[in-house]
Amino acid sequence: YESLNRIIPDSVKEFFNLDNWLWTQKLMRNNTEEISDEYEEQPTLDRAREEIIQEYNQIDDLKKEAALNEKFYFAINLKKTLKTIEDTHLFDYLGSRNVLPKYGFPTDVVPLRTNHLHIDEAKQVDLQRDLRIAIGEFAPDNSIVAAKKIWVSGGVYKPPSKNWLTYSYANCMNCKRFYFSSKETEKITTCPNCGEQINKARKSHSGIFIIPQFGFIAKNETLKSSSESRPKNFYSIKTHFAEYRLPGEKVSFSAMLQNDPNLSNENVQIKKHYSRYGWLVALNEGPVGRGYRICDICGYATSQFPTRNNPPHKNPLTDKTCTGTIKYYSLGHRYMTDVLELQINANYADPNDYELWLSLLYALLEGASNVLGIRRDDINGALHYRHDSYIPSLIIFDDVPGGAGHVEFISKKLKETIQAAYERVHHPCCGPETSCYECLRNYRNQSFHDKLKRGKVNAFLGRLLTDLRILEKKMS
């Protein structure tokens, strides 16, 4: 009590009922009388506990079913997955479910393992990244410079008694909705929203992703000096908004968008919704969108396609030949964070103009970062297509699992954000038919660079601000 009393500001002690320890009821008891969040029907810790129990039981049921059907290899893999869940680090899990404050804490950090190389430089380096970044930077065949050497990723680490968490996913090309499921055996072949058959001929529309929560393995090869050649990198992570869902609940909920009265009139309507329970999936589908070839026994991984005379692969840890099965997997990470959903309805904006909406999304992100003093790496965005609207939604999210409160601030300062976005793209830093690093481009959105058009979003925001009678006021 003395420690809490010392570190918690006086202004919030009464809110937490610190003297009587009543704040613990919001974590562990089904007592929600004092909880103001309209979606928080259960205390946070109760929800987190129920979610992991449900996931464990679901996989356990699949394991029993596989054993009954004599699919013993699959049952063994599911048993390893259960072991992975059992050994999940408690702080990592509680941080990702909003029980513990996640922002600023080193959780979900994975290594590129080098100790198996038995060289002096391996003892000098400690290569670690947040998992959301690692699925790009540590992806198979990518290289990292450290200790004046080039380290190449050659595999996804897999402990002998455990398995990666595996999910099936699909991105419907008809309604553009994204879905994922923990039931790998039930691949998504039909869109739950529009009924469209998922195109099996194009692998990038559906597949299976693994969460490489144990890290990656450096290739067992002679290291090149960083002065001899440039490191090879392919970085293409696309983040998809999946759903709004409370931890511990099986069913997602549909967020109600509300008109912003300060940014809506007879010419334009801007709707928004802020939530702490947005689920996102970051995916790296490989250089050509088919994933990576990964051995499900030793973790060997490559981005290269097989050839007719493809030699047997070697275990990246032992450098010995492995007879494990090679499968195609994408690399992914799912997490919950704070999200702000925006929908802008103006008759001069074509709902099907993908370049416009994508450019607008990144203009708003840059504007929010500039005017509100938010680190650009701490926020990101994605396009989302609701089942009840033909207008795409702009999802702005805290790019920190668990959330950092940035997008809630953006929601309250939306007018200033739009103005700053316009100033960002109105500056003639490049041709209107393209974009550059002074307006819309950055390292993390490089897979979209050819779609980002400064001229389109400049014209749109100029008219939007005029219709909202903001631009004239500022100019006058």
Task: Give the pLDDT confidence of 98-134 residue by residue, as tens digits.
Answer: 677 655 555 678 999 988 887 778 878 889 998 989 9
**More confident call, 400 vs 314:** 314
When mean pLDDT is compared across 182-191, 238-247, 279-288, 332-341, the lowest value belongs to 182-191
| All residues at 6 or more sequence positions from 46 whose CB lies less than 8 Å from its CB, including other chains | 27, 28, 29, 30, 248
φ, ψ (nearest 5 deg) of residue 83: -65, -35
pLDDT band at residue 38 using 50, 70 and 90 as cut-offs: very low
Mean pLDDT taken over the chain: 85
Which ranges of 316-453 does DSSP label H, i.e. alpha helix? 354-372, 406-412, 414-426
Instruction: Give me the CATH code for the 248-279+338-468 domain, please.
Output: 3.30.1360
**How many separate helices (H) and strands (E) can be counted in the chain?**
13, 17
Residue 34 has pLDDT above 60, yes or no: no
pLDDT, mean of residues 48-74: 84
pLDDT value of residue 169? 92
Residue 33 has pLDDT above 50, yes or no: no
pLDDT value of residue 13? 78
Residue 232 has pLDDT above 60, yes or no: yes
Task: Report CA-CA distances (Å) from 433 to 133, 430, 450.
Answer: 30, 8, 10
The kind and range of the H/E element at 460 are helix 454-467
pLDDT band at residue 442 using 50, 70 and 90 as cut-offs: very high
Q: Determine the length of the chain.
A: 476
Strand partners, 239: 282
